[in-house]
Structure 1
Amino acid sequence: MSCGGHHDTPCGEVLDAVSAYLDGEMTEHERERISTHVEECSPCLREVGIYQEVKLLVARSCGCDHVPEEVRSRVLGRIRAVSVQWRTDSLDPSES
């Protein structure tokens, strides 16, 4: 997606970072870059708003369900394994 205007931070980069942006999982500098872009770009502002609404709906619908510690540990372990594999794959010099 692109609004057609020039931005220091491309729309695609902003949309890839929406989750981290809304969850407060970025540095202050990164957050400022995304905020500046969203203030200038109505399509990205709309997408951020939609994502925020979905996040609120999910939290209301599922936020109170207790997840057993065993399940939580397995899911987090699998996420770490996939993340490590992805990083390893993306650093493979033979694919360049």
Structure 2
Amino acid sequence: MLDCSAVIADVWVFLDHECDPASRARLQQHLDDCGPCLTQFGIEEQVKSLLGRKCGGEQAPTGLRSRLSERIRATVCEQVDGAAPGEEIQVDGGRVQI
């Protein structure tokens, strides 16, 4: 049995379809059985829908995206003992190309 606070905390994950099928089924079952959570879920769903209508589809201009990507790479390189762009580095146990 899920706690209501856990369900409300995971509402956005549920709405974005970012949880695994078993978690989704548990959340859905709780929402089906719990009126207060279902009400809160409905409010969150409406907020998400409103945000999607008002803010969806907007993308940063290509030039801005390029400049941000370059700056992020440069910052990472500076922080990783002078790594060069395109070099592969170790980060938190994994390998990342910058």
User: Which of 12, 26, 34 lines up with 1:19 in the alignment?
Assistant: 12
Kindly indicate which of the two structures has a greater share of residues assigned to strand: 2
Larger radius of gyration: 2
Give the direction of change, closer, same or farther, for the CA distance of 1:30–1:53 in structure 2 (3 Å limit): same
**How far apart in 1 are the matches of 2:42 and 2:67?**
31
**Equivalent residue, structure 2, for 1:53:** 46
- Compute the TM-score of the two structures, normalised by the length of structure 2: 0.61
The letter of the residue matching 1:29 is A
Aligned with residue 32 of structure 2, among 36, 39, 56: 39
CA shift in 2, pair 1:61/1:46, >3 Å: same
> Hey, which bits of structure 1, 4+ residues long, moved more than 4 A?
70-74
Deviation at 1:67, TM superposition (A): 2.2
How far off is 1:72 after superposition?
A: 7.5
Q: Counterpart of 1:52 in structure 2: which amino acid?
A: E
Q: For 1:46 and 1:12, locate their aligned partners in 2 and report how far apart those are by CA, in whole Å.
A: 13
More helix by percentage: 1
Note closer, same or farther for the CA distance 1:63–1:13 as it changes in structure 2 (3 Å cut): same
Identity %: 34
Look up the equivalent residue of 1:10 and give its one-letter code.
D
Count of aligned positions: 67
User: Deviation per CA, 1:54-74, whole angstroms, max 9, x where unpaired?
Assistant: 011111111132224258866
Query: More relative contact order in 1 or in 2 (CA 8 Å, sep 6+)?
Result: 1
RMSD of equivalent CA atoms = 2.0
